Amino acid sequence: MNNVYDRVRSIDAFRAVTMFLMIFVNDLDGVPKTPSWLKHAAENADALGFADTIFPAFLFIVGLSIPFAFENRIKRGDHRIPARIITRSFALIFIGFYHANMETYNEAIAILPKPVWESLLTFSFFFIFLDYSHFSKVKRYLLQGFGIALLVAMSVLYKTTDPGQTWLHLTWWGILGLIGWAYLLCALIYYYSGGVLWVQAAAWIFFLFFNLDFHFGLLDFLAPVQKYAWIAGNGAMQAFTMAGIVVSVMYMRLKENKDIQLLWIGMILLAFILFNLGIIVRYFSGGISKAHDTPSWVFICTGFSLIAYAFFAFLVDFKHKYKWASIIEPAGKQTFTCYLVPFIFYPIYEMTNLGYPEYLSQGTGGLIKCLIFSFLMIWLTGLLNKIGIKLKI
């Protein structure tokens, strides 16, 4: 008989699809003559593109994973969970900081060309965060030491295009950094509250209101320190993650009581409420905008995530249909590796300057190329895993 805290395959499937789509929309971003609705909406547009829903879904999945992962660790007698939360969050924030600086690398005055610097930086992350559980201590220390030395060298060689700056500095936290901050706060809330449902719900509502208050101007006094503040933003990222935690706690409690059918009713009802709230606040708080983390974007994208997970939970956990996900399974289980693999591929592609047929550079051909690329990155992740190369933070 399966334990209620066993690994939930619907979360793996949802994560795999979301990771696939994240690679796809990132690759599609620079492809001309492709449907605009698939891409991110313009920075100052009151609009929602398909790409704008992917990152919120990923943060939602981070929240979904926390209760099951923690309960399994507690069941195994692992009492190092707070230390694990801090080290994992720091690793994500640390890499996110470098990725944010990657965007302003000044190739004109730096010693190394940008593709070379990016690839060497990414290799350093692989050496530092490789899963060394099957390595001897000597090999681990040698390889990690090499990775740290390589990272230090890349840090020393870094130059920026930002005016008034010459070296690595905080611009924004980067995608991984935002995930790290959301994970840190939400995981600590879950752990120290003992997973009590009403506490998770209260925290979720707090972050939603924090985001609302920020956009209504009630938190303007925080402006001078906002990007350095403990909230690490305006509450949007934490709201997505806490929503996932609430759903997972509901999942566990309802499964224990054999009332799992209420989960779908609850998620669909919550999504309906959030969609309506998103439409209402759209006219009072900056419209729908991922670029500005508006409340309307938070409400509506959380609603989409709820509907999406209701589908995956029904298909995978209730109907036991999981084989279809095997082709992209590495994206759901080695997600961190999968995220970083393109950061090796893109610089190498730029350095080799191989190019590809014009048909694949735009329009329908461009869409096909992006789909193939996403599958290729996931296949490479699976291949690396088979030869013992996977990242662990």
* E-state strands within 135-267: none
> By the 8 A CB rule, do 91 and 129 touch?
yes
Q: If you average pLDDT over residues 38-61, what whole number do you get?
A: 94
What whole-number distance in Å separates Cα of residue 274 and Cα of residue 66? Answer: 22
Q: If you average pLDDT over residues 203-225, what whole number do you get?
A: 84
Percent residues over pLDDT 70 in the chain: 95
Give the per-residue pLDDT at 305: 98
Across the chain, what does the average pLDDT equal?
91
- Structural element, H or E, at residue 345: helix 335-352
> What global pTM score does this model have?
0.93
Tokens standing for residue 200: 């998770």
Least confident of 232-246, 344-358, 369-383: 344-358
Residue 259: strand, helix, or coil: coil
Q: If you average pLDDT over residues 229-233, what whole number do you get?
A: 64
Express each pLDDT in 4-33 by its tens digit.
Answer: 555 689 999 999 999 999 999 999 988 999
Q: If you average pLDDT over residues 368-381, what whole number do you get?
A: 95
Express each pLDDT in 73-108 by its tens digit.
Answer: 888 888 899 999 999 999 999 999 999 999 999 999
CA angle (314 as vertex; 193, 312 as ends), nearest 5: 75
Express each pLDDT in 144-156 by its tens digit.
Answer: 999 999 999 999 9
Q: How confident is the model at residue 1 (pLDDT cuts 50, 70, 90)?
A: very low
Q: If you average pLDDT over residues 124-145, what whole number do you get?
A: 94
Q: What's the N-to-C CA distance of the chain in angstroms?
A: 31
> By the 8 A CB rule, do 241 and 65 touch?
no
